[in-house]
Structure 1
Amino acid sequence: MAIYRFRISFEDFDEVVREIDIKSTQTFEDLHKAVHRSTGYSAEKSSSFFVSTDNWIKGDEIAYLPTQRKTDRGVALMETSKLNRFIEDPHQKFYYIYNFDRPFDFHVELIKIILDPDPNIEYPFLVKSTGEAPKIIEKDNFGAVTVSAAPASTEFDFLNEMDFVPEDTEEIEAMGGRGINAEEKSDDADEEETDDADEFADNDDYEDEEYNSKEDY
């Protein structure tokens, strides 16, 4: 039984690297879970390895938690697929997609074959870890953030469109102040109207007197 040493790197974060030793008779599911023990990600996500060319062109798929469509197509399953069945080259490559809902792509390359496994090591075994895996915003958490932010934003826009003034103490006081000024202005306007009316009445009296004087004449 041989030990395969795989070098695993993020496609978009090539400074983040893991090297894992694993038995040739172990499965792709064992490798999948070993990778995410080293990244801190949840392994219980729909993911797939693809047998790859040297240029990272994807071939046959080995899936974990496949969709019904993949199952119907007869895609190989990680839990039943041993690594040595898919190793055809001493530098065999696999293109690996983790979590199809929010995917990360990896390059997986066989870099060493060890013929004498260490009996004191439990495989899979993390040989090397370089760089911190990028953080993942889980779908549920992302949704929660969106939902919590949306109502405030929606309510604010709606109320502004309706010219609504929030019921805030300072704003109420300010509104009260504006109300008093409006009342004072209204009283001033009433007084002006009263003065105009009195002046008009005086003019009427003057006209009556003038008319009477003409009659007397």
Structure 2
Amino acid sequence: MVYRFTIISNEVEDFIREIKIDAEATFYDLHQAILSSCHYADNVPTSFFICNQEWEQEQEILLEDMGTSRSDEDLYLMKKTRLNELLEDEKQRMVYVFDPLDNRMFFIELTEISFGKTQEQPVCSRSHGEAPQQSMDLEEFLNKETTKPSEDLNEDFYGSESFDTEEFDPEGFEISEGNPYH
């Protein structure tokens, strides 16, 4: 069986990669194919997460055992876990966290399963757009949009500029005067 994965980014609108890979290949093989298709270095502790249809992360597949997992949970490692062990159906979703420090990821969907075929080596069958930077530099991280108010948030979001302090009633918010810790 051959799996075809479609990979997109929420950072770069026109970025798309499609990778065809044998279902017997490991998550590590897919990891290497993604790195190669994006021209990324292999020096970051990445991971995959199997997701539900709402992209909620469920099962994690780690590059390496960092010794942080609980003993009662299953531990899946990329080099030891075959794709077909955890992926069985078309439209299954997962994310690939390529920058864990900034929680940056690719969104991946198993878009096609070709039965009766094999794929000796993974191949990037479609490549469009530039991949996002593999990691943010410090200045970019500090200026990241999530650290400052969005331009979409205007006075209507925060309330009217004509706020009257006389209308504020501390009793309505159960605020009492004096020290509340007596």
TM-score tier by shorter-chain length is 0.5 to 0.7
The corresponding residue for 2:148 is none
- Which structure has greater strand proportion? 2
Percent identity between matched residues is 30
Separation in structure 1 between the aligned mates of residue 104 and residue 95 of structure 2, nearest angstrom: 11
| Structure 2 spans left out of the alignment, 5+ residues | 140-182
Aligned counterpart for 1:124 among listed residues 122, 125, 143: 122
Q: Which amino acid aligns with 1:113?
A: I
The corresponding residue for 1:199 is none
Q: Secondary structure at the match of 1:30?
A: helix
In structure 2, the CA distance between the partners of 1:35 and 1:71, relative to structure 1 (3 Å rule), is farther
Q: Which amino acid aligns with 2:47?
A: S
- Which contiguous aligned blocks of 4+ residues in structure 1 show a shift greater than 6 angstroms? none
Q: Which amino acid aligns with 1:17?
A: I
The corresponding residue for 2:17 is 18
Superposed, 1:107-186 pairs within 5 Å as: 107-117=107-117, 122-137=120-135
Separation in structure 1 between the aligned mates of residue 57 and residue 67 of structure 2, nearest angstrom: 21
State the Cα RMSD in Å. Answer: 2.3
Q: Structure 1 stretch 4-13 or stretch 76-85: which is displaced more?
A: 4-13
In structure 2, the CA distance between the partners of 1:71 and 1:22, relative to structure 1 (3 Å rule), is farther
The corresponding residue for 2:42 is 43
On the 8 A contact 1:47/1:66 being kept in 2, the answer is no
Q: Structure 1 stretch 38-47 or stretch 62-71: which is displaced more?
A: 62-71
The corresponding residue for 2:174 is none
Q: Structure 1 stretch 69-78 or stretch 100-109: which is displaced more?
A: 69-78
- Which structure has greater helix proportion? 1
Deviation at 1:66, TM superposition (A): 4.0
Q: Secondary structure at the match of 2:48?
A: strand
The corresponding residue for 1:151 is none
On the 8 A contact 1:10/1:104 being kept in 2, the answer is no
Q: Structure 1 stretch 28-37 or stretch 93-102: which is displaced more?
A: 93-102
On the 8 A contact 1:15/1:130 being kept in 2, the answer is yes
Q: Secondary structure at the match of 2:53?
A: coil
| Structure 1 spans left out of the alignment, 5+ residues | 144-217
Q: Secondary structure at the match of 1:8?
A: strand
Q: Secondary structure at the match of 2:79?
A: helix
Deviation at 1:44, TM superposition (A): 3.1
The corresponding residue for 2:5 is 6
Deviation at 1:89, TM superposition (A): 2.3
Q: Which amino acid aligns with 1:110?
A: L
Q: Which amino acid aligns with 1:13?
A: V
On the 8 A contact 1:32/1:43 being kept in 2, the answer is no
The corresponding residue for 1:209 is none
Separation in structure 2 between the aligned mates of residue 74 and residue 110 of structure 1, nearest angstrom: 23
Separation in structure 2 between the aligned mates of residue 82 and residue 38 of structure 1, nearest angstrom: 20
Separation in structure 1 between the aligned mates of residue 91 and residue 51 of structure 2, nearest angstrom: 11
TM, length-normalised to structure 2: 0.67
Q: Structure 1 stretch 81-90 or stretch 22-31: which is displaced more?
A: 81-90
Separation in structure 1 between the aligned mates of residue 87 and residue 136 of structure 2, nearest angstrom: 33
* 1:82 to 2:97 alignment: no
On the 8 A contact 1:46/1:66 being kept in 2, the answer is no
> Whose relative contact order is higher, 1 or 2, with alpha carbons under 8 Å and at least 6 apart?
2
